[in-house]
Chain A
Amino acid sequence: MDRRAFLTAAAAAGLAQVVTPEQAFARAAASQPAWSLAVGDVMGDIPRQSLRRIHGKPPAGLAGTLYRNGPARFRRPGGDATHWFDGDGLVRAFRIGPDDASLEAKFVDTFKRRQDAAARAVITPGFGTLGSDRAVIGSADDTNAANTALLPIGGELLALWEAGSPYSVDPATLETRGLKTFSPELAHMPFLAHPRIEPGGRVWNLGLAGRRAIVWTLAPSGAVERTTLVDLPRASFIHDFTATDRHLVIVLQPLIQDRMVLPFVDAFSWRPEEGTQVLVLDKDDLSRRRLYDLPAFFFFHLGDAWAEADGTVRFDACLDSTPDFAVHGARDILTGKPAPNGVSLAMVALHPDGRAELNRTPLTAEFPRADPRRAGLSRSKTIINSVRTQGRPLLRGVGVSDWRTGKADLFDYGPDHCAEELLFVPRPGDGNELGGWLVGTSLNLKARATELHVFDAAHVSDGPLCSWRAEVGLPVGFHGAWVGG
């Protein structure tokens, strides 16, 4: 409505006090919390732009690209996505060179995005979005938002979702090449967004269909080495799993799929009385398995696991006491409602005698990452997002928690920031655990701009060594990958 029409309408309605459009927009904006920018819409691709250095200088030897993925378009004129996990995947490339840094972002050109765009409404069902029966869905890949993570492999950047195939993206141009089909008989098989990568480059991943899973093994080249179908003891919600050098560790939380309804998340029941199970499979023989019992908890993300000499398997996890955030909170945040969660760091130990231990800590933690050179091997350090603001769903700090010392080295970006995942980048010639840098982004709500930060991994609390700021504020994303050089 233009200004004149608005005023005319207001007059016709006989309003005692005329509200100007400026006032109306200001009131509408004020009704949304500042953090709503974190779940805002990006209307189109972002051409490559230079980032402005706002602090420090980049460390010598750091060069490469931080690729990140996350939902970035939720709303369309005829109807919106109603869950955070159902926005269209936007692949961002933060390229760091010796003298400058840049940002470029392109949406993954999915069938879902095309279908929703053509309908001018989000009609495609998703994790928590009901969608419409107008949507054409021949397989889960027709609902694939390709919005969760990225796997660089074999010269491709695979944009990962959870219940369908990866989408192949050109790492140089970010153009979508199409749905990745490893072989004809593997078309549309699900491929989780959290593959586990051995230090030598072999990739392990799962895909789920209720109580059945496909176990993927990819060579470092990206070629499929093997796929195996395995049965699971329950139809648990599985977003992530973990692995040691010898085992796959599948945590089966008591959020259990027991009905056939849409959207996906509504097909699950929370049954805490049934506890959490942990299934450990031998990588060399997937029929060799052990099952452990733990108290009930909800989780999205696990840290890398390792096996000790006596056979004890250890891994850390970011736990919550209930699935409320997944079911409700991640819906609410799209409408600006606070979405509390209590996610914190815990360590699990699976002992050779069959006992399982869960040791919770009070440390707020999400998006756990570790030194990829030690994936599956003994380690003590976990990279996390941390620092909670009351009444806000997203964290505002980052850090490294050390299991050996029990200490956390944290940096608080401050109340104006929403933190995003940090990744480790080795310093050339430094083989120590986390000997190098942490690279990650934040959304500066006050500046309404996305920032890129580099930390010394050994001194996170000192703050970034270098920060850059983009001209745009992109919504908060999920997971990324670093490609050096």
Chain B
Amino acid sequence: MFDHTFKTAAVFASLGLVIAVVNARPAPAQEAGAVTVTFSGITRPTGALMVGVYDSEAAFAGGKPVEGFRLTVDGPQANQVITGLKPGSYAIKVFHDVDGDGRMNTNGFGIPTEPYAASNNAPSRMGPPSWADARFEVTAEGAAQTITID
């Protein structure tokens, strides 16, 4: 809360901005199964979901995603199948770019004003969701995530 506005301002600001839409990488030699992601609970059917997939704690905290997607929002739910990942630990963060301006809006003190969420529906506790809460394993069989946003 209060004092944490300082901390959250900086961290939250990075949350949105680092999710760049990147091109799909060449398929690695040993591919994991597909990751099926369902985004549910969308209350405002406008704009887009900006989704980042991360393969390490450092990247999740503010580095580059291994995959990024922009999913147009036209209803209460959106889906994405992610392929080409190597087996391992990943975490997803997403924000709903409600006004479609391509960035996560924040208020004058840097607090997000557009909805955001993470894999495992990892909670925010005085700051963005943690890697420990958001990480999930992607195996040869793939993985499935349902992330509630809004």
Q: Which residues of A contact B (CB under 8 A)?
A: 125-126, 133, 135-140, 142-143, 163-164, 184-190, 207-210, 212, 214, 227, 229, 257, 259-262, 264, 267
Contacts and interface: CB of A to CB of B under 8 A. Distances in A.
Given A136-B123, A260-B7, A209 B109 contact: yes
Interface string B120-133: 00011110000000
A230 to B, nearest CB: 11
A212 B111 CA distance: 14
A267 to B, nearest CB: 5
A313 to B, nearest CB: 27
Chain B interface residue bracket vs A: 20 to 34
Interface in B1-42: 1-9
A186 B106 CA distance: 9
Nearest to A181: B113
B87 interface: no
Given A210-B5, A260-B4, 18 more contacts: A126-B1, A135-B125, A136-B123, A136-B125, A140-B4, A142-B124, A163-B2, A184-B98, A184-B99, A185-B113, A187-B107, A188-B111, A189-B107, A189-B108, A189-B109, A214-B108, A260-B6, A262-B126
A137 B1 contact: yes
B63 interface: no
Contacts of B111: 139-140, 187-189
A186 B6 contact: no
A209 B123 contact: no
B109 to A, nearest CB: 4
Contacts of A262: 3, 126
Contacts of A137: 1, 124-126
Contacts of A126: 1
12 contacts: A125-B1, A125-B126, A135-B125, A136-B123, A139-B111, A143-B1, A184-B105, A185-B113, A187-B113, A188-B111, A190-B2, A260-B7
B26 to A, nearest CB: 37
Which of B107, B113, B124 has its CB near the most chain A CB atoms (within 10 A)?
Answer: B107
Contacts of B99: 184
A261 B113 contact: no
B3 A267 contact: yes
A142 B113 CA distance: 13
Contacts of A227: 108
Contacts of A257: 2-3
B62 interface: no
A262 B1 CA distance: 9
B102 interface: no
A188 B3 contact: no
B2 A138 contact: no
Given A189-B108, A212-B109, A214-B108, A264 B1 contact: yes
A85 to B, nearest CB: 12
Given A185-B105, A189-B107, A209-B109, A261 B3 contact: yes
A185 B3 contact: no
A264 B2 contact: yes
Interface in B92-149: 98-99, 105, 107-109, 111-113, 116, 123-126
B5 A209 contact: yes
Nearest to A263: B1
Contacts of B108: 185-186, 189, 214, 227, 229
A257 B5 CA distance: 13
Contacts of A136: 123-125
A137 B111 CA distance: 12
A209 B2 contact: yes
A482 B31 CA distance: 68
Contacts of B124: 136-138, 142
Nearest to A133: B125
Contacts of B5: 140, 209-210
Q: Which 3 A-B pairs have the closest CB atoms?
A: A140-B1, A187-B113, A138-B124
B56 to A, nearest CB: 23
Which of B3, B116, B123, B124 has its CB near the most chain A CB atoms (within 10 A)?
Answer: B3
A214 B107 CA distance: 11
